[in-house]
Amino acid sequence: MNSIILLSVLGLGNLFLGFLRSNRLLLPAAMLMLALVFGINLIDWNEGAQSYFNNMLVIDNFSVAFTGVVILTTFLLIPFSQKFVRDGEANLAEYYSLLLFSLVGAVMMVAYNHLLILFVGIETLSIAMYVLAGSDKRNLRSNEAALKYFLMGSFTTGILLFGIALVYGATGTFQLSDISFAVQNPINDSLQPMLYIGMLLMLVGMGFKVSAAPFHFWTPDVYEGTPTFFAAFMSTVVKAAGFAAFLKLMVQVFPAASAQGVWLPTLTAMCALTLLLGNVGAVAQTSVKRMLAYSSVSHAGYLLIGLVAFNGQLEGASANAIFFYSLAYSVATVAAFGVLKLVADQRQREDYNGLNGLAKTNPLLAFVMTVAMLSLAGIPLTGGFFGKFFIFSAAVENGYIGLVVFAVVMSMVSIYYYLRPIIAMYMRETDVTTDEPILVSSFQSAALFVLALLTVVLGVLPGLISGIL
Amino acid sequence: MDQNIPQVIQTVPLQYYVFFATALFSIGVVGVLTRRNAIIIFMCVELMLNAVNVLLTAFSAYRADPNGQIFVFFIMAVAAAEVAVGLAIIVMIYRNLQNTDVNLLNRLKF
């Protein structure tokens, strides 16, 4: 709760910083604010569940942990915000404020205990992201991304809301625990079909938000057109918050055996399809940014395995596995997008050849990108390996062996496209467009160093955070 | 008006509201999937949201539970915010393309 209030107030305060007309102040100020919120958020750790607004919002260890992930991700991402808007007249303070406001939505999504808060949280996050996706106003690709994201997002919200309305009709409440009780003790059998249709529509709505197949088709287009900085934000913060919300919905709302008969087969099919389409789609790409977009779809597939294999409570192996995976994935993705943004800004190209010879001109960038790619591919000694390991072992314990075998095969496919940037950086020669070293500011070098370090630490000492929930 | 509003709503059977809202919602979905003008797609999305509002109000009146109607207020407020952002995006596109046909937006391809 403190983090919601603080983020809102600081977001407003940040708008006033815009009056100073000094853009150099904005980045350190935003980083300071995020560090402050991160610290304040940790105060609620292990304080037990505290409920606010008539039990509509509950702050517990689960929400504190995921709030920590989204704020840490934003903190490490924000140094790459320099020159993120090409429009010289734009007021940069507004963009930082929108980022802070969208984080308010993310925190509400991880802490909701009432479907109203889920809806308001998703919308707070999404509406800010619609604006940010179109922040490159004169670039038609950015315009197109904004319109696609906006139309798909509001369409999805409509579907999610219709699902919520039907569930409300069948159960008479929006409170998570009451819905769960009503699902397990149905008052009236004739209302069951309405409940099931409502659940499926909510599943479709959440599937769109976390870009799970077959509702993923907007993802590559939107990520490609959106300015790289905001694409990184979308593929990390939006996804981590979305999965936390999805997990809470699965575990707290529909745990009854009858409801699982509807959820689980659908979710398992979505999971397998997401893994297949995400990984196969990524192989065919020539643009690194599009590859990362498909990679985010395929990682949604791995996270869905964690949802399928949940063990019925928010404290336990499954929640821990999803938490660890979100953190490892977010850190590696921020590193990859950060390097890509620095390279693309200077070399004006986002394909694999744009990375040629990076190891000679900028060894630090090439090294960080390599660590990020290895982590995303799930190679041992990186965080991504243990992320996959925890998710797969939770799934095997719950008897989803076929799904795990399929996921392992698919992650072998992913090694092909994750190694391509590494080959370009280390084995290809530079040409005229790529022989200049990339300019990296000290903030950015520090962030890249921390990102690489975090990825390796998560891979060497996973026990530090693997059992905290 | 000696009858209060929930009683007026209850003079129509609940199923009718469900069918009506579902029909309205389906019209919205079909519109989003088939129309090509960004503004009309947007209107269809609003139709979907209003179908949800009708449904929530009807359930709320039948259960004598105000939660559903409060939810409707939140949907209206959020939809208004969404309209503001959405129309701004459409205006931005119109300035660059002099058109709002979504078929012209094909720079991002698979």
Question: Residues near B16 by Cβ (< 8 Å), separated by ≥ 6?
Answer: none
Question: Residues near A314 by Cβ (< 8 Å), separated by ≥ 6?
Answer: A60, A62, A247, A248, A251, A252, A469
Distance from CA of A218 to the nearest CA of B (A): 10
Interchain contact A113–B (C-beta under 8 A): no
Residue A34 domain-assigned? yes
Place of tokens 């929006």: A174
Token pair belonging to A446 = 């520090």
Please name the member of B49, B65, B78 whose beta carbon is closest to the beta carbon of A120.
Answer: B78
Give the pLDDT of residue A23. Answer: 72
A102 class by beta-carbon count within 10 Å (0-12 exposed, 13-18 middle, 19+ buried): buried
Interchain contact B17–A (C-beta under 8 A): no
A43 class by beta-carbon count within 10 Å (0-12 exposed, 13-18 middle, 19+ buried): exposed
Check pLDDT > 60 for residue A86: no
Query: CB B105 to CB A137 under 8 A?
Result: no
Cβ atoms A141, A153 nearer than 8 A: no
**Cα–Cα dist A239/A218, whole Å:** 14
Residues in A touching B52 (Cβ below 8 Å): 158, 161-162, 164-165
pLDDT tens for A398-420 read 888 889 999 999 999 999 999 99
Neighbours of A287 (CB within 10 A): 18
What average pLDDT does chain B have?
A: 87
Please name the member of B52, B68, B110 whose beta carbon is closest to the beta carbon of A162.
Answer: B52
Question: Residues near A92 by Cβ (< 8 Å), separated by ≥ 6?
Answer: A18, A23, A26, A85
pLDDT band at A213 (very low <50, low <70, confident <90, very high): confident
Please name the member of A154, A168, A224 whose beta carbon is closest to the beta carbon of B68.
Answer: A168
User: Mean pLDDT throughout A167-191?
Assistant: 84
Check pLDDT > 80 for residue A432: no
State the DSSP H helix or E strand holding residue A301, giving kind and residue range, or none if neither: helix A288-308
Going by C-alpha positions, the residue among A365, A337, A338, A346 that lies closest to residue A436 is: A346
**Of A357 and A280, more confident:** A280
Task: Tell me the three state secondary structure of residue A138.
Answer: coil
Report CA Rg, chain B. 18
Give the pLDDT of residue B107. Answer: 63
Interchain contact A94–B (C-beta under 8 A): no
**Of B97 and A109, more confident:** A109
Domain count for chain A: 1
Residues in B touching A172 (Cβ below 8 Å): 59, 63, 65
Query: Which domains are present in chain B?
Result: 5-102 (1.10.287.3510)
Question: What is the ipTM metric for this complex?
Answer: 0.93
Residue A310 domain-assigned? yes
**Cα–Cα dist A249/A258, whole Å:** 15
pLDDT band at A233 (very low <50, low <70, confident <90, very high): very high
Residue A469 domain-assigned? no
Please name the member of B38, B90, B96 whose beta carbon is closest to the beta carbon of A140.
Answer: B96
Give the pLDDT of residue A85. Answer: 57
Q: How far is CA A110 from the centre of its chain?
A: 12
Residue A56 domain-assigned? yes
Task: Please give the residue range of the domain that contains residue A44.
Answer: 2-464
Residue A331 domain-assigned? yes
Give the pLDDT of residue A119. Answer: 95
Going by C-alpha positions, the residue among A158, A188, A160, A157 that lies closest to residue A172 is: A188
Cβ atoms A370, A379 nearer than 8 A: no
Query: Where is average pLDDT lowest: A10-14, A95-99, A351-355, B46-50?
Result: A351-355
Give the pLDDT of residue A135. Answer: 85
pLDDT band at B110 (very low <50, low <70, confident <90, very high): very low
| Three-class secondary structure assignment of A438-465 | CCCCHHHHHHHHHHHHHHHHHHHCHHHC
Query: CB B89 to CB A147 under 8 A?
Result: yes
Please name the member of A158, A159, A220 whose beta carbon is closest to the beta carbon of B110.
Answer: A220
Per cent of chain A over pLDDT 90 is: 42
Number of A to B CB contacts under 8 A, please give it.
Answer: 124
Distance from CA of B6 to the nearest CA of A (A): 16
Query: CB A123 to CB B81 under 8 A?
Result: yes
pLDDT tens for A448-459 read 999 999 999 998
Interchain contact A159–B (C-beta under 8 A): yes
User: Mean pLDDT throughout B43-68?
Assistant: 92
Question: Residues near B6 by Cβ (< 8 Å), separated by ≥ 6?
Answer: B61, B62, B64
Distance from CA of A467 to the nearest CA of B (A): 37
Distance from CA of B7 to the nearest CA of A (A): 18
Interchain contact B89–A (C-beta under 8 A): yes
Question: Residues near B53 by Cβ (< 8 Å), separated by ≥ 6?
Answer: B72, B75, B76
Neighbours of A60 (CB within 10 A): 20
Compute the Cα dihedral for A272, A277, A280, A286 and give only its sign.
negative
Interchain contact A286–B (C-beta under 8 A): no
What average pLDDT does chain A have?
A: 87
pLDDT tens for A54-69 read 888 999 888 999 999 9
Say how many CA atoms lie within 13 Å of A81 toward its Cβ: 26
* Secondary structure tally for chain B: helices H, strands E: 4, 0
Check pLDDT > 70 for residue B1: no
DSSP per-residue string spanning A398-423: TT-HHHHHHHHHHHHHHHHHHHHHHH
